[in-house]
């Protein structure tokens, strides 16, 4: 891109801005539910200013040069914020591509008499704009990936809470499929909590695990063994009929592990292991205490 | 040479490992401990490894050896205070220390040993009764 086109574009800045904004607001893809027009206007103006400055720089054709740095920052910010707001990748990159059309018209007006120059200038402008548009797509994907990664982490943390159900008894309801990475999280969370609370029994409830294959069973056995090494005993509860069937068909040996059908029976078993007795209070005593309230 | 102290507490022996066990030290401990069991006729051995942060298969084997040897000498072994990371490592190594009793801390380990001794005495009495 030569100095003349940069100057021409700069001179028509106001007009370019108006046409571009007009195109954008006319465009059906504009998501005014996600972003206000005023916000868009401000963003676009900032971008156009930096772009025209970069066009005037000595290395205008190289989008990796220092002159384009502020543009990269602006575009990064725009695409990451759009990825979070839920724009589609097409909507994000068409933001840049829509400017291309306006710039082409401006260049056409300026170099109407010199087709050769016009052709050269349009090609170089296209190159720059395409590379910037690719940059937005790239950053958009990066932003999306960050969102996904964060959600994955949150999900694996949320879905494995360690609950203290009684003094000395922990419960760990596992929800979702157990893979190696999650088992590690589950195992660590459980063992840390055993140390922190000094619990002697941990109940692993797998009612929320859709399928148990040999790998999942192996992970569970590992967790039980690790807890045993530390001096705590594990009870696996919530084994459904179909899961019991799979386990037997797969030939998995769970004979050294305490298993119970429901969390309630596992809790009962823990009570007897810790010599805890829970009895119903006498009905009379409860009535008596109610009368004592004086109503 | 560095040695790990072995304390006698009534019918039990108490070992607290406060340093990371290197192989030679572990072997010395094994040797000392078995001699001590034989000398004091201890009924139980309590090994506290709460300060140990690194463990390898060798140390796992030593712990297993101590347990089997003590068992032959009629003493129960309890390992207490294993760190989560150590437990995970041992399991990943495939060592489940099947002959070793475990407890969360020294207090619970002592209680476990006392129960074991109580059981042993009951069994012996039963044996004696049936003998008469």
A128 and A198 in a single domain? The answer is: no
| Residue ranges making up the domain that contains A222 | 163-276
A30 and A149 in a single domain? The answer is: yes
A167 and A152 in a single domain? The answer is: no
Q: Which residue in the set B88, B91, B103 is minimally distant from A231, CB to CB?
A: B103
ipTM of the complex: 0.74
pLDDT band (50, 70, 90) for residue A157: confident
pLDDT band (50, 70, 90) for residue B15: very high
Q: What angle do CA A242, A245, A247 make, to 5 degrees?
A: 110
Assigned domain for A42 exists: yes
- Closest-CA residue of B relative to A227 is B87
A186 and A130 in a single domain? The answer is: no
pLDDT band (50, 70, 90) for residue A29: low
- Closest CA relative to residue B49, chosen from B102, B116, B112, B113: B102
Percentage of residues in chain A having pLDDT higher than 70: 93
Assigned domain for A200 exists: yes
The answer for residues whose C-beta is within 8 angstroms of residue A286's C-beta and 6 or more apart is none
All structural domains of chain B, each given as residue ranges with its CATH number in brackets, are 6-130 (3.30.750.24)
Cβ–Cβ under 8 Å, residues B78 and B114: no
The answer for residues whose C-beta is within 8 angstroms of residue A259's C-beta and 6 or more apart is A235, A236, A237, A239
* pLDDT at residue B121, rounded to an integer: 72
The CATH number given to whatever domain includes residue A109 is 1.10.490.130
A242 and A114 in a single domain? The answer is: no
pLDDT greater at residue A7 or residue A170? A170
* pLDDT at residue A186, rounded to an integer: 84
- Position A288 pLDDT exceeds 60: no
What are the phi and psi torsion angles at A252 (to 5°)? -80, 135
Q: Give B49-105 pLDDT, tens digit per residue.
A: 988 888 888 888 888 888 888 888 888 899 999 999 999 888 888 888 877 899 999
* pLDDT at residue A271, rounded to an integer: 94
Assigned domain for A201 exists: yes
* Residue among B80, B84, B96, B116 with most chain A CBs within 10 A, to mutate: B84
* Domain finish residue from A134, A156, A178: A156
Assigned domain for A287 exists: no
- Position B114 pLDDT exceeds 80: yes
Pairing of strands A258-259, B6-9: unpaired
Does the pTM surpass 0.80? The reply is no
* Domain finish residue from A156, A183, A206: A156
Cβ–Cβ under 8 Å, residues A45 and A21: no
A11 and A106 in a single domain? The answer is: yes
Query: What number of helices (H) and strands (E) belong to chain A?
Result: 11, 5
CB distance A187–B88 less than 8 Å?
yes
Q: Which strands, in side-by-side order, build the sheet including A233-237?
A: A163-166, A169-175, A201-208, A233-237, A258-259
A135 and A212 in a single domain? The answer is: no
Q: Which residues of B touch A231 (CB under 8 A)?
A: 79-82, 102-105, 108-109
Q: Give A225-284 pLDDT, tens digit per residue.
A: 999 999 999 999 998 888 888 888 888 888 888 999 899 999 999 999 999 998 888 876
- With H, G, I as helix, E, B as strand and everything else as coil, classify residue A115: helix
A50 and A191 in a single domain? The answer is: no
Indicate the number of domains in chain A.
Answer: 2
| Token reading at A187 | 């195992």
CB distance B87–A229 less than 8 Å?
yes
The CATH number given to whatever domain includes residue A207 is 3.30.750.24
Q: What is the distance between the alpha carbons of residues A237 and A221, in angstroms, rounded to a whole number?
A: 13
Assigned domain for A288 exists: no
* pLDDT at residue A88, rounded to an integer: 81
Query: What number of helices (H) and strands (E) belong to chain B?
Result: 4, 5
| Token reading at A105 | 């018209």
């Amino acid at each position: 891109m030569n100095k003349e086109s940069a100057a021409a574009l700069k001179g028509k800045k106001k007009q370019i801005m108006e046409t571009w904004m007009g195109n954008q607001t006319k465009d059906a893809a504009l998501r005014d539910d996600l972003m206000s027009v005023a916000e868009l206007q401000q963003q676009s103006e900032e971008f156009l200013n930096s772009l025209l400055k970069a066009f005037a720089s000595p290395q205008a054709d190289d989008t990796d040069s220092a002159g384009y740095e502020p543009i990269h920052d602006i575009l990064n910010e725009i695409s990451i914020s759009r990825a979070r707001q839920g724009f589609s990748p097409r909507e994000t990159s068409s933001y840049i591509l829509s400017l291309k059309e306006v710039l082409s018209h401006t260049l056409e007006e300026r170099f109407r008499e010199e087709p050769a120059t016009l052709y050269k200038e349009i090609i170089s402008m296209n190159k720059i704009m395409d590379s910037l548009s690719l940059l937005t797509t790239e950053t958009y994907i990066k932003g999306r990936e960050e969102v996904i990664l964060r959600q994955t982490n949150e999900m694996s943390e949320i879905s494995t809470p360690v609950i203290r159900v009684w003094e000395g008894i922990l419960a760990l309801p596992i929800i979702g499929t157990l893979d190696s990475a999650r088992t590690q999280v589950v195992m660590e969370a459980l063992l840390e909590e055993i140390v922190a609370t000094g619990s002697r029994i941990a109940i692993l409830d797998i009612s929320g695990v859709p399928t148990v294959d040999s790998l999942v069973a192996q992970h569970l056995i590992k967790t039980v063994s690790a807890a045993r090494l530390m001096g705590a005993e594990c009870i696996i509860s919530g084994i459904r009929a179909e899961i019991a069937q799979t386990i037997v068909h797969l030939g998995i040996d769970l004979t050294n592990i305490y298993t119970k059908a429901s969390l309630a029976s596992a809790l009962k078993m823990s009570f007897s292991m810790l010599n805890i007795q829970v009895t119903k209070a006498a009905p009379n005593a409860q009535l008596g205490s109610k009368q004592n309230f004086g109503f | 040479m560095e040695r790990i102290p072995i304390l006698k507490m009534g019918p039990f022996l108490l070992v607290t490992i406060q340093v990371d066990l290197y192989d030679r030290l572990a072997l010395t401990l094994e040797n000392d401990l078995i001699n001590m069991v034989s000398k004091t006729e201890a009924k139980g051995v309590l090994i506290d490894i709460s300060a140990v942060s690194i463990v390898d298969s060798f140390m796992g084997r030593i712990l297993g050896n101590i347990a089997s040897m003590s068992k032959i000498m009629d003493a129960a072994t309890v390992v207490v205070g294993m760190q989560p990371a150590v437990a995970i490592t041992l399991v990943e190594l495939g060592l489940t220390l099947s002959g070793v009793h475990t407890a969360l801390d020294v207090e619970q380990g002592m209680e476990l040993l006392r129960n074991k001794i109580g059981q042993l005495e009951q069994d012996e009495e039963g044996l004696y009764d049936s003998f008469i």
